[in-house]
Amino acid sequence: GDIWLLRIEIDGLAARLAATRGTETDWAQVFFLVAQLRTAADETELAHSHRILHREIYAIAFSPRLTALFNSQLIPYISEVVNVGPGKHSDPEGAFHQHLSLVRALSSGDAELAAQASRDHAASGARYAKSLSEIADPHDQ
């Protein structure tokens, strides 16, 4: 639970900063990465595209030093522990639409809208992860 709370807050902060710091070129690259979700050939490719997309948002939001810290220390841990984005019961079309909506909010320039959309996105992942864990081990309730 604490890892999810951290993810929700960091993603909210990243969204708030990215909304005000991103350039047209930055957002064009992010929208290109969103499109890659839709065309992923398999779950491995979808999971990889998903990680790259979120790393790109962090790169827009944060300084290079903080981005490097997140990419080397935080993101791998979160991805292994709680990332339920593409990779389990993946849905390329659903992932595409969910992230398209998210990136539209982030690229809007409205920091509050972006932060709320990002927190909602991360919270949705938390709920999904919880549902998977309940399905995976019905005795652990």
Say if residues 62 and 68 touch (Cβ distance below 8 Å). no
Please list the pLDDT of the chain residue by residue as tens digits (141 residues).
Answer: 788 888 889 999 999 999 999 999 999 999 999 999 999 988 888 888 988 999 999 999 999 999 999 888 887 777 665 554 544 567 889 889 999 999 999 999 999 999 999 999 988 877 776 776 665 444 444
How far apart, in whole angstroms, are the C-alpha atoms of residue 98 and residue 86? Answer: 11
Query: Can you give the pTM of this predicted structure?
Result: 0.84
